[in-house]
Amino acid sequence: MGGNLMSMMGFVVLLCLWAVEVAEAAQYVKYKDSRQPIGARIKDLMNRMTVEEKIGQMTQIERKLASPDIMKKYFIGSVLSGGGSVPAPKASAETWINMVNELQKAALSTRLGIPMIYGIDAIHGHNNVYKATIFPHNVGLGVTRDPQLLKRIGAATALEVRATGIPYTFAPCIAVCRDPRWGRCYESYSEDHTIVQAMTEIIPGLQGDIPANSTRGVPFVTGKTKVVACAKHFVGDGGTVKGIDENNTVIDYNGLLSIHMPAYFDSIRKGVATVMVSYSSWNGNKMHANHDLVTGFLKDKLKFRGFVISDWQGIDRITDPPHSNYSYSVQAGVLSGIDMVMLPENFTEFIDDLTFQVKNNVIPMGRIDDAVKRILRVKFAMDLFENPLADLSLVNQLGSQEHRELAREAVRKSLVLLKNGIDSRPLLPLPKKLPKILVAGSHADNLGYQCGGWTIEWQGLGGNDLTVGTTILTAIKNTVDPSTQVVHNENPDANFVKSNNFSHAVVVVGEIPYAEVFGDSMNLTISEPGPSTIRNVCGSVKCVVVIISGRPVVVEPYVASIEALVAAWLPGTEGQGVADVLFGDYGFTGKLARTWFKSVDQLPMNVGDHYYNPLFPFGFGLTTNPTKGN
């Protein structure tokens, strides 16, 4: 009896073990197994997905439209913050994380639990977020010609973006701006593609270093401290006629390949995970509908294996006027090779139209599968399935002192000294010990002007309440000897200047913030009252004029009357970097990465042109040596 009981018990144990194994086998899902190759995981997941779930992956909606119910109902694959779109004014990192995680939990609760990817424009630091470090805009960074600096900025930006629970940035812009009248010229590193190519080193900073044996074109992101990057705007966005935003780039195929395409070769070689298509046209054909370049060249020839994303309402703008034939726009955009469509408003219309077209074979299922494979490849490559939710472990990285010091270094290296002294007597560096100096100009004590567009708000802001940082005025006060009297007057009249016995003056003037089409300018003048401030101050006292601008502007009429001229571009929150160099703690080293014209009538004018007669040529920049203990 005992023997029978023992054998029966053994049989029961075996039965239980078998039942556990069967249950485990039933629960085992290949796409959730991180030990499996990415290709196998993609294939397994794709085999389980409905058409509705696939189209959901291709849909990116604005956070204002997103809710847990929307995420679940439409299987939304991605959410974004447009410029200035925040969960609350001056929101903390924790508030951002909670918002992103709430939407992510909804995505994870769907049948297949595919995580969504949240994207944001972190184009000069995490620029939508209060207290983030705002780095100089690209126009200044190109001046540094320092790829390793760009890589460090990429790494710092990635940490700050991750600090708010976000894993994807729409950066870098690798446009080659050929005409400074373009309102996005400050998003371009240079008019010279070789500098833009070198600056793509920001991509391994953002995403991590690609392994030596990596297959070309395969997206690569290393873990929780890095973010997905986005090379944009494919292709030719910086070459439009007269620099008009979203306009037509007229250039032959060889010109497109030799000027506007090279930085894409470098970006893809460095594992960039996504590419954004340009609003602009090439020889009259909208890039958002250009199958030959998006699919034929980028995907097939360059072997890009990440996903292609549209710009904000980019497919709407395939037609003129925008959205006038939306079903055609959906068809043309998706068939061109766009994988994820950025939909700030009409996402249900997009889903309905695309679903109809797929079910009626207007768009083949193979095109949908290509798009979804690419999106999933990026999500698997960045370990989003393993780590879909953000925690609070990186919140102290937002605006950290280390990142601010890096931004300050970038400011120093991005300054270009265009003039220094009259009759070979240099004015700069200024001594720190002076009896009395005047700091004047609309931009001297204005953090918002110093940061430019794409800062907290899409178009930027004026004033000092937008975020945390150091204005140039504050930086000067921090730098000079305690005995030096610093007098600030934004726009002094000539009598004030003459009667106050100043030994020196620093005049900080330039452009007011703008972004995209709102920055297009046919005259490129310094904003009033800048010119009158220059005249009132520089006629009576030794002055250095610091230009805050997103591009070269008209200065030729003033150059003769001023002792020293500095191009500071859009330096960001760390104005201390300007004072560091003005007062000799560091020397000027920057060299123009853009041609500085005499008159707008000369535009477009770029280095290498047959007719080239600039005020300051490409590569120009005077240098100074640091002064010890001045």
- Token pair 């004014």 is found at 89
Instruction: Note the pLDDT of residue 25.
Output: 54
Q: How far apart are the first and last CA of the chain?
A: 102
Give the pLDDT mean for 393-401. Answer: 98
Give the pLDDT mean for 480-491. Answer: 98
Q: 330-344, pLDDT tens digit by residue? A: 999 999 999 999 998
Q: Compute the half-sphere exposure of residue 426: CA atoms within 13 Å on the CB side of its CA.
A: 14
Between 8 and 562, whose confidence is greater?
562
Instruction: Note the pLDDT of residue 346.
Output: 87
Q: 229-270, pLDDT tens digit by residue? A: 999 999 999 999 999 999 999 999 999 999 999 999 999 999
Q: 500-527, pLDDT tens digit by residue? A: 999 999 999 999 999 999 999 999 999 9
Q: The tokens of 296 are what?
A: 């034929």
Question: Where does the pLDDT of residue 26 fall: very low under 50, low under 70, confident under 90, or very high at 90 and above?
Answer: low
Q: Provide, rounded to the nearest whole percent, the portion of the chain with pLDDT above 90.
A: 94
Computed on alpha carbons and rounded to an integer, the radius of gyration of the chain in Å comes to 27
> Annotated active-site positions, please?
311, 516
Helix residue ranges per DSSP H, 180-260: 193-199, 202-207, 253-255
Instruction: Note the pLDDT of residue 135.
Output: 99
Q: 528-567, pLDDT tens digit by residue? A: 999 999 999 999 999 999 999 999 999 999 999 999 999 9
Q: 290-311, pLDDT tens digit by residue? A: 999 999 999 999 999 999 999 9
- Please check the confidence at residue 24 and state whether its pLDDT lies above 90: no
Strands 281-282 and 504-510: unpaired
d(CA 211, CA 73): 39
**Which regions of 205-318 does DSSP assign to beta strands (E)?**
230-234, 248-249, 274-277, 281-282, 285-286, 307-309
Instruction: Note the pLDDT of residue 27.
Output: 83
Question: Where does the pLDDT of residue 184 fall: very low under 50, low under 70, confident under 90, or very high at 90 and above?
Answer: very high
User: Residue 125: which of 353, 408, 314 has the closest Cα?
Assistant: 408
Question: Where does the pLDDT of residue 7 fall: very low under 50, low under 70, confident under 90, or very high at 90 and above?
Answer: low
- Beta carbons of 382 and 273 less than 8 angstroms apart: yes
Nearest 5°: the CA angle 511, 512, 518 is 100
- Beta carbons of 353 and 327 less than 8 angstroms apart: yes
- Please check the confidence at residue 628 and state whether its pLDDT lies above 80: no
d(CA 415, CA 408): 11
- Please check the confidence at residue 136 and state whether its pLDDT lies above 80: yes
- Please check the confidence at residue 30 and state whether its pLDDT lies above 70: yes
Give the pLDDT mean for 52-61. Answer: 98
Instruction: Note the pLDDT of residue 424.
Output: 79
Instruction: Note the pLDDT of residue 487.
Output: 98
- Token pair 């003039």 is found at 419
d(CA 591, CA 364): 51
Question: Where does the pLDDT of residue 20 fall: very low under 50, low under 70, confident under 90, or very high at 90 and above?
Answer: very low
Q: Which residues contact 363 (CB under 8 A, 6 or more apart)?
A: 331, 334, 335, 354, 357
Question: Where does the pLDDT of residue 16 fall: very low under 50, low under 70, confident under 90, or very high at 90 and above?
Answer: low
Instruction: Tally Cβ neighbours within 10 Å of residue 215.
Output: 11
Give the pLDDT mean for 145-167. Answer: 98
- Please check the confidence at residue 6 and state whether its pLDDT lies above 70: no
Q: 447-466, pLDDT tens digit by residue? A: 999 999 999 999 999 999 99
Compute the mean pLDDT over every residue in the chain, rounded to the nearest whole number.
96
Instruction: Note the pLDDT of residue 339.
Output: 99
Instruction: Note the pLDDT of residue 515.
Output: 98
Give the pLDDT mean for 198-208. Answer: 98
